[in-house]
Chain A
């Protein structure tokens, strides 16, 4: 029910959302949990394993029970914590983990089977028959023990990534964090204050503890203090405050990951441009950790019913949302703070009016009531009743038992500091036996200062002092002066109490509500030998649910310590890892979808190419034309064959700008190239181009390409499209790190030059139409290069051929690329030629036996490629010593050969294996493999390149090509890898 308290929500803004299809009204600022509780809805889901009815247990991100699915279609989001998700108009909320209606879950039968479903049940039961696992067991278990589901629709849940930098990051905006932020901000630091909740005046200990600040102002409660100081912080220009933001992980060098629920509280239809979530990467020079503490539950039989929740949650629903979760509440508490909270609560007139009866159970015989409520001291709750929600509890006091009717039971077993983040770089928390809590290790994270409750300081006065001190420590590291902010004064009292991990009584007592792990499961794990905390966790699955055991880890290890006779500190904790709260993959990978994952690199000819109807294919990040369909052609093969014949008979044009182009300049440029290539470039005359082969230092081939000498100190290297980045990094390493003695500079100019290849017997005539000074045959021979003018524009011309035809590559500044391409293609068409694509380019190069990275795949040597003649004996170069190793010069290695089918129509496939004729087609008899194939329009049959043991010694041998995957066997003849125009006369013509 709603009560009229000092609740800060806006009653004017009514919101209607649906829960399992039923419309529910709430107010803006309500969480789903608050709105449901306000309407008296307690049953919100079913448990993971036993399908027990479950309700809302907490009011924060640690919630183990109230996981719901929101939205539908592409926007569907499963496993959302109802305690964090705010309502908005049109929000659809559905409960999870049941078959049929929530009230009558068909799988509730699992609860009756619980004697068979204990710890290790899966491991013991589903061992055999093995074949049953995938087909029977796993699908059934997944259906029965699932959480929410994704919709499988693509494109929903827009997420973004963002970056933030600050001097001081303050994590948590309770009184500790606010104090720290205020001191750091007054010192002039750039402060970033982040908090998980939507509003900032939250606290853990819900009682009034007056704070006197230095101005003499007395704040009636910590909440008032927070409100006052937050106003001051908001007015300061050096302070940024982020709400709805959870710091999820700590990484090296002051990096923090944080998840902001940017738009999840708003209707996606009304805010289409707003991301639902934003993943922040925050870089902080210093950090104050003020994450507070989580209240510790108590394990007792049937402690999992809807209507049982943490005291701090109960109070947060009262204070934050004006929601009273029970009219006959009972409280099971172990500490004095809880008594102060309850006394303060029922002293409020609006509460006193609303509740009919209030019972407090405390295991300490000496406990004293601090207000007008019934106290049963020296007592424990030993059982509960109520099928879909709490109706009654059984209390044991000494030897007697009594049943008490109650609609709500709130628990307070002390506090567990929220120190998870301090462990993300490997530190382990330290057990403080006196306070019975784990506290952060000293200097767990460089530059991070834990303060307040997360550091074990629970009193109001202590938290303020802690926040103040840590802020001073942080600003001192930053070299800022102490701003002289006095420390406000407040109560120093903090929670006298006892640790009560479990009540000894008959029945199942839950530790991990999310994964249905009971105290018996933990004890059984210890009995069966899984006594280390890491083994217990995996055997029982305790702490492995989406809540990561935030409310059960400490209790479970305390019970394990008890079962194994060790101390809690000797038992230790499991490893705390990021993320602190569940992260959607969408948020974590924001920006990495589509073009964020693979940007498109387009050549200057792109628009003209697409306009001609060419299908584009990806070559790395580049997009290049596959072929140019002509009227009447129905297959790509027809287009490819026509384009090959066109280049062999007239002239073709192809954009080769995606090849890497590296400008190399300096007095030692020639010596530098001699060191990175196997062959010599320092002797290359100006105005000439040479083919070069580059090795890795381990003696294997890295890349090949042509390098042109434009001037005495100036070369331009081309690389393959695929290896451009790798070669560039390699050249930089050689220039900077291996040969700093050489005076040379390298820079990539791939983007700066558009380069078109013009190939075919009519190439020269075509070019002469655009060159300011026409070429004659003698003046620009094969492998010449030089500066030319094209339509008055300074350009470069290279006479190189990747097709075996007379060919030129003409390079112009990239801004002229589009015009040059269109002009060249139009002129080629006038000569009976035209544009050609990658398919034809591949066939043309295969007919000539030219290599690509299908052949230079990283495991081949120059010797394997038959290029040992290019390895200069006269100089040192990268890869030379390693390439000379005996194993790399074995004749029996798989070495490059050409392959052609014995029958004209025989099919060759890339990836097929090669076998000696007559041998079985099995792995021990494997002789090699095929790397590239194509259908040669020139020769009228398929041709291929491959690697074959003793390859060059087997010319003319009939072997068998076997493609086991495609079921193809083709008798082939081994031949030289050059199929056409062996003497190269056409290219020189």
Chain B
């Protein structure tokens, strides 16, 4: 699997570590209700199809990426710097 790192170009997936769904970037406000925190910490969809995940290029440029990937075809359709996604 190749991941198109915006900094390094297409690189082998073994240079990366996956941290799960990119929802991690959408941290609730500290005073958000417990349900929001529960959803943020524990509840994840298990999609058959497109999904967005956080990958860390830890054996490369150390950037965190939001990788768009299809769980059925394994096709990687894009990757953006997490910082850019978070800053919106």
- Interface on A for B, CB 8 Å cutoff? 251-255, 283, 425, 446, 697-698, 725, 729, 732-733, 736-738, 740-741, 876, 880-882, 885
Contacts and interface: CB of A to CB of B under 8 A. Distances in A.
B29 to A, nearest CB: 8
Given A253-B2, A738-B27, A729 B41 contact: no
Nearest to B74: A252
Interface in B39-88: 41, 54, 56, 58, 62-64, 74-76, 81-83, 85-87
Contact of A881 (B30, B64, B82): B30
13 contacts: A729-B58, A733-B19, A733-B54, A733-B82, A736-B64, A737-B24, A737-B83, A737-B86, A738-B25, A740-B86, A741-B87, A876-B30, A885-B34
Nearest to B34: A885
Interface in B1-38: 1-2, 12, 17, 19, 24-25, 27-28, 30, 32, 34, 37
Contacts of B85: 737
A979 B12 CA distance: 51
A737 B41 contact: no
A737 B21 CA distance: 13
A831 B20 CA distance: 55
B1 A251 contact: yes
A736 B19 contact: no
Contacts of B34: 885
A51 B5 CA distance: 56
Given A251-B1, A729-B17, A885-B34, A736 B83 contact: yes
Given A253-B1, A736-B64, A882-B37, A729 B30 contact: no
A578 B24 CA distance: 35
Contact of A732 (B1, B25, B56, B76): B56
A733 B56 CA distance: 8
Contacts of B81: 736
Given A729-B56, A732-B62, 18 more contacts: A251-B1, A253-B2, A255-B1, A283-B12, A425-B74, A446-B75, A697-B27, A725-B58, A729-B58, A732-B56, A732-B64, A736-B81, A737-B83, A738-B25, A738-B27, A876-B30, A881-B37, A885-B34
A546 to B, nearest CB: 28
A741 to B, nearest CB: 8
A883 to B, nearest CB: 11
A697 B19 CA distance: 13
A740 B1 contact: no
Contacts of B63: 736
Contacts of B62: 732
A766 B28 CA distance: 52
A881 B86 contact: no
A738 B63 CA distance: 13
Contacts of A252: 1, 74
Q: Which of A252, A255, A697, A737: most chain B CB closer than 10 A?
A: A737
A252 B3 CA distance: 11
A733 B64 contact: yes
Give the interface centre of B62, B81, B87 by most chain A CB atoms within 10 Å: B62
Contact of B41 (A446, A698, A740, A741): A698
Contacts of B74: 252-253, 425
Given A729-B17, A733-B64, A882-B41, A253 B76 contact: yes
Contacts of B56: 729, 732-733
B32 A881 contact: yes
Contacts of A725: 58
A732 B54 CA distance: 12
A697 B25 contact: no
A741 B56 CA distance: 20
B24 to A, nearest CB: 7
Of A697, A736, A740, chain B has the most CB atoms within 10 Å of the CB of A736
Contact of A737 (B28, B37, B64): B64
Contacts of B37: 881-882
Contacts of A697: 27, 41
Contacts of A425: 74
Q: Please give me the 3 A-B residue pairs with the lowest Cβ-Cβ distance, nearest first.
A: A737-B82, A876-B30, A252-B1
B30 A740 contact: no
Nearest to A255: B1
Nearest to A163: B12
A697 B25 CA distance: 12
Contacts of B58: 725, 729
A726 to B, nearest CB: 10
Nearest to B87: A740
B83 A740 contact: yes
B86 A738 contact: yes
A208 to B, nearest CB: 45
B34 to A, nearest CB: 7
A737 B1 CA distance: 23
Nearest to B88: A740
A255 B30 CA distance: 44
Contacts of B30: 876, 880-881
Contacts of A740: 83, 86-87
Nearest to A254: B2
A881 B37 CA distance: 8
Contacts of B2: 253-254, 283
A425 B74 CA distance: 9
A881 B12 CA distance: 37
A697 B1 CA distance: 30
Contacts of A885: 34
Contacts of B64: 732-733, 736-737
A254 to B, nearest CB: 8
B7 to A, nearest CB: 11
B26 to A, nearest CB: 10
Contacts of A446: 75
Nearest to A732: B62
Contacts of B54: 733, 737
Nearest to B10: A253
Contacts of A882: 37, 41
A254 B12 CA distance: 11
Contacts of B87: 740-741
Nearest to A251: B1
A729 B58 CA distance: 8
A729 B17 CA distance: 10
A907 B2 CA distance: 55
A840 B12 CA distance: 44
B76 to A, nearest CB: 7
Contacts of B19: 733
A666 to B, nearest CB: 14
Contacts of A876: 30
A736 B62 CA distance: 10
A147 B85 CA distance: 56
A494 to B, nearest CB: 34
Nearest to A739: B86
Contacts of B12: 283
A661 B70 CA distance: 38
Nearest to A748: B62
Contacts of B41: 697-698, 882
B21 to A, nearest CB: 13
Nearest to B41: A698
B48 to A, nearest CB: 13
Contact of A736 (B32, B75, B82): B82
